[in-house]
Chains A and B, each alone.
Chain A
Amino acid sequence: MRSCHFTGRPGPATCPVCLVNCPTVSNGTLRWRCVGRPATLCCHRPPSNTGMEQPIKVLLIEDSATDARLLRIFLGESSTHCFDIVHVARLAEGMERIGKEHFDVILSDLLLPDSQGIETFERLHAHVEHVPIIVLSGSDDENLAVRAVREGAQDYLVKGRIDGHGLVRSITYAIERHRAEQRLQESERHYKFLLESITDYSYSVKIEDGKPGLISHGPGCVSITGYSAQEFEADPKLWFRMVHEADREAVQEQARRIQAGETPPPLEHRIVHKDGEARWVRHTVVACRNRDGNLSSFDGLIADITQRKKAEQDLVKSEAFYHSLVENLPQNILRKDLNERFTFANQRFCAMLGMPLEQIIGKTDFDFFPPELAEKYQRDDRYVIRTGQIFETIEENHAPTGEKLYVNVIKTPIYDAKGQIIGIQGIFWDITERKRFEERLQRANQELAASEAALRKSHEELKSAQLQLIQAEKMESIGTLAAGVAHEVKNPLAILMMGVNYLTKKLGGAEDGIQQVLKEMREAIDRADAITRGLLDFSASRQLAIKSESLNTLIDETLRLVRHELRTKQIVVQKNLGERLPGVGVDKRQIQQVLVNLIVNSIHAMPEGGTLMVRSYTKQLTETSHTEGSRRASHFWVGDMAVVIEVEDTGTGIPEENLAKIFDPFFTTKPTGVGTGLGLPVSKKIIELHGGSLDVRNVKGGGVRATILLRPQKA
């Protein structure tokens, strides 16, 4: 279903003039029923090839219905354009329509019921700046129309002189012209905006009579130079003075070349800012020529490049700094690309290879080193390239003289701006001297450690000997004291003994009571004598009668000596004597005394009976024992062979607090008269005189074990 372009209603076209009549067919041609003209427009017109599919939307403001109808007819007849006409009779109505819909062009009479004369145009123009306006006027007020055109109307048409073709052309031109104007305005605004937003300082110099004349300064001049346009205008020489003294000649040269018709490249020079500080600027000058090719003016653009210049200078300084570093370091420095070709070598490395840098760049290790070395170097490089890791090593090389040289090598990857590895950088330096010092230091250190160990050992021995000496001193003085005491006690005992002897004889037949008293006195004397004897045993310095003895025989004999005691106390003896014990050089009587002492102690510890274990065996020592109390060191060292005798009981054990005191003379826990407190001290002394050791300790689960270590006789 087609719709009518004039009315927008579906169905056949409506005549643009009468609005009601539809075209009729007569003589094979469609004609408007009202006017009889061929209906070439609208729905009846075949599709156009002009591409002008969209009708031109026209707002017609015209209070004369006749004029309006005429214009409709003219536009409707156009074979090139299609128009969609909205017709109103009053300005207010027109403005209202403008506010509601879009129009491509406005045709407006100036004499309207609600507005007359130029005011009609002005109001319209103020209301719709973006739509071209064509003014319609009568022949009597053409001047008014001309004025409207001057004020911005696209065209004016004089009623009565309008024809169809002229009207369409006027409308299409008005639209085109209006569009062009709009584009121009847009462009102007754009450039104006652009120019205003440039912070650079632009200026323009007019050439008058071949000489520079009027100068205009852009708004950027304040920020770049510190001076305002007014200041430049007030002092014509200010501009040139502003140029840094050293650069004035170059600036003058640039101006000269411009005036000579050349196009000089941008000049970088310094100016002195109003604040007194020198600034770097980039000064571009462009010449403008008139149609004759003569210079009419030139424009300058001055940009502050102080920051950039400073960055450049910093870069140069930094370059110089690193260059100096690289060339003055005592290290060899080199760079290679991914193909193992040298891209850099510092002077030291060049000197090492004995050729200038140009002959090194582009070459590989194979050009300078033996193949196996070159292969190794490249292997290291490839490791760095593959892993991105730093490679550090100390290479051992041999000098032609045969001595070992040490070289410390560090290789690191080189990256490009994208973070891709593009090669490696190597730094190496000779550390032979340092290495030699290290080796010497290490040797010295080892020697020092060895002598320190020896020192420590001898210190320990000394300490042990000192402890023994102190203890021996102590024992010696106790011994002297004991001997004195014993002697002084024995004499009164001798007197008592004589007295008791005498009384016994004299009172031989006396009553039992007296006999009992004398007997007890006699026993008391014996006891006191035993104590003093023990004391003397302990304190005496003795001569040993050393003979090679079988310890097992000795043990058996000792057990026989005490078998009566063992039997009465119901003590079971477990013997475990090692076979083929080596002979031991001992004073048999003394060792027997020691064994008796130890066994008696065990018996006393088992008043309710128990088991006495006696063992003998040989063993290689795994720990050393330093024992105190003898001048004759009883040192056993780890690895020494020893013959061991153990006497162990299942008795009461030694209270922890007493363990440290058991070798002190006179220390005893036995009832008075049972022990003298000298058994263990004497035993220990005897064993130590034999160069052995005696150790007494509690056994887990109760009981005590005494361990005697003796040296086997040397075969």
Chain B
Amino acid sequence: MKSLVLSGVVATLLVFSGCSDKEPVVDAPAQEVEATSTAQEVEAVATETVSSEASDVSSVASELSMADIEAQLSSVYFDFDQFTINTDMQEKISTGASIAKAAALPYNVKLEGNCDEWGSDEYNFALGLKRASAVKKALVAEGIEESRISMVSYGESNPVCSDKNKECWSKNRRVDFKLLP
């Protein structure tokens, strides 16, 4: 209804404007263009250069998607002083394996083992590595090629949380998934 009223108003305005065009036309002399000896240079037209890397549509798309895929892979958490995978963490590994078989297929998987601050020295590094190794075995069991998976341990040196409480410590006992091109 509203649109009908509006188009009515517009039509009326058009009719009225046609009627008001009654002004006499004055024939003005044509203005001469002065010739000058030196032409003034105008600004160059702005251009944009697309570099060869940036012009490759496929590489930009895949870079973005690698980070995106990595964000979908959630860390696997472990119990105090343990490197066996709990049943509630098995689901995360299965999800990780499905992603690795589909969207992350062009990439290799790096597993980073980490520990809480309880423990020290070399034992903690080994514990982190055994955690990464446990996740690797689980991924292989889910059908991921062993050659695609590499591991590293950071012991207690790469914490995501540095508070002194149990929630924080449990967040640090983890294996992170990283993708490598």
A and B part of one assembly: no
